[in-house]
């Protein structure tokens, strides 16, 4: 299956990229095509016009390319940092450029923070947002607190936090795979209603 791992920090010392890289590597080990979509690298402007609001062939190239990747994906993993009890603006801006492209596929949330709460408030905020955007949000979720102690610079688990992540990830991935397979089968059986 094809999964997109979406990450949205623009900060100079981005620690959450470790978790995004970990997710890419772990899903690849399970035989999937997993691609990191880094909002900073994609470089979308602040939302002025959604992809669907551009005339055919007139959307900026990076917007059109990302729309095609989203449409081709079987599921999504949102790596969600918490900023002041809320979501990262970079990741939110990226998601808001699209709508129908997200429909009828599962989304999973990996949250993180520098502190002990592991991005739990951003995680909760994303759940409702992703549901509203037409995705089925899986019930398995993982929060990684004290991110710099839990993953090294290459995204390898370290310490107690890293060990907890490594224990939790297989169930998280199983859940995502199940919903992605179910969505694939249903789309093959019957076209989505809209």
Spatial distance between the Cα atoms of 3 and 138, rounded to a whole number of angstroms: 14
DSSP state of 14: -
Position 19 scores a pLDDT of 98
Spatial distance between the Cα atoms of 81 and 120, rounded to a whole number of angstroms: 9
- pLDDT tens, position by position, 117-161: 998 999 999 999 999 999 999 999 999 999 999 999 999 999 999
Task: Check whether 171 has a pLDDT greater than 90.
Answer: yes
Position 69 scores a pLDDT of 98
- Work out the burial of residue 134: count CB atoms within 10 Å of its CB; fewer than 13 is exposed, 13-18 middle, 19 or more buried: middle
- pLDDT tens, position by position, 36-77: 999 999 999 999 999 999 999 999 999 999 999 999 999 999
Question: Which structure tokens are listed for 28?
Answer: 């690849």
Position 127 scores a pLDDT of 96
Stated as kind and residue range, the H or E segment containing 148 is helix 147-150
Mean pLDDT, rounded, of the chain: 96
Whats the size of the chain, residue-wise?
194
Domains and CATH numbers, the chain: 2-189 (3.40.50.360)
Question: Which structure tokens are listed for 164?
Answer: 């907890």
Spatial distance between the Cα atoms of 65 and 97, rounded to a whole number of angstroms: 12
For 63-67, the CB contacts below 8 A with 24+ separation are 63/97, 66/37, 66/42, 66/94, 66/97, 66/98, 67/98, 67/101
Task: Check whether 193 has a pLDDT greater than 90.
Answer: no
- pLDDT tens, position by position, 18-36: 999 999 999 999 999 999 9
Position 85 scores a pLDDT of 87
Spatial distance between the Cα atoms of 33 and 120, rounded to a whole number of angstroms: 28
Model-wide pTM > 0.85: yes
Hunting for tokens 């016009």 — which residue is that?
A: 49
Task: Check whether 88 has a pLDDT greater than 90.
Answer: yes
Spatial distance between the Cα atoms of 152 and 162, rounded to a whole number of angstroms: 9
């Amino acid at each position: 299956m094809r999964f997109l791992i979406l990450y949205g920090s623009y900060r100079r010392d981005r620690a959450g990229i470790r978790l995004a890289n970990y997710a890419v590597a772990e899903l690849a080990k399970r035989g999937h095509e997993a691609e990191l979509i880094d909002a900073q690298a994609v470089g979308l402007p602040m939302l002025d016009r959604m992809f669907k609001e551009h005339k055919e062939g007139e959307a900026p190239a990076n917007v059109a390319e990302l729309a095609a990747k989203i449409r081709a994906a079987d599921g999504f993993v949102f790596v969600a940092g918490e900023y002041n009890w809320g979501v990262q603006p970079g990741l939110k801006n990226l998601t808001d450029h699209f709508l129908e492209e997200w429909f009828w596929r599962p989304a999973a949330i990996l949250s993180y923070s520098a502190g002990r709460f592991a991005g739990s408030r951003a995680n909760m905020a994303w759940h409702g947002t992703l549901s509203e955007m037409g995705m089925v949000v899986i019930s398995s979720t993982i929060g990684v607190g004290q991110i710099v102690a839990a993953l090294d610079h290459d995204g390898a688990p370290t310490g107690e936090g890293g060990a907890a992540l490594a224990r939790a990830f297989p169930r998280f991935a199983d859940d995502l795979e199940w919903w992605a397979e179910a969505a694939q089968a249903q789309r093959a059986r019957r076209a989505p209603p809209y």
